[in-house]
Amino acid sequence: MIERNGGFIDNFIGDGLMAIFGIDDQRDAPLRAVNAAIQTVATVDRLKPFFASMYGINFDIRIGLHYGEAVIGTLGFAGNQRLTAVGDVVNLASRIEAANKDAGTRLLISEALHGQIADKVEVGDFVRVRLRGT
């Protein structure tokens, strides 16, 4: 879903991942990120019965999305370099994802991101959460 919507999978972190939108094409990057998230949640919903019957697990995901500027660059040492994003925007996205647990939600977006997509996407519920570490 991420790559289909023009995103780039930056890094796998434990049981999560970080994706970046807008590196090559900034047009509609916020909308493409939201579309990827919605499609991912729908795909997981379709696969839940399979995971339950085959593996006996209740598989689910939480997604946090934020919008802002990050420093994009190559990190690492010779032979093991990768393109990544660093900055407050990355930390906030991670905290937004974690806030799903307290909010009882699966997909949360920041006010900054909502401001970028408000005229293109209908948001069903608004919740205000205090982000840990802020």
Domains of the chain from N-terminus onward: 3-117 (3.30.70.1230)
Q: Rounded distance, CA 6 to CA 28, Å?
A: 10
Q: Give pLDDT, residue 67.
A: 97
Q: How many CB atoms lie within 10 A of CB 103?
A: 15
Q: What is the pTM of this model?
A: 0.89
130 DSSP assignment: P
27 DSSP assignment: T
Positions in the chain short of pLDDT 50: none
Q: Give pLDDT, residue 30.
A: 97
Q: Give pLDDT, residue 124.
A: 79
Q: Give pLDDT, residue 108.
A: 96
Q: Give pLDDT, residue 126.
A: 78
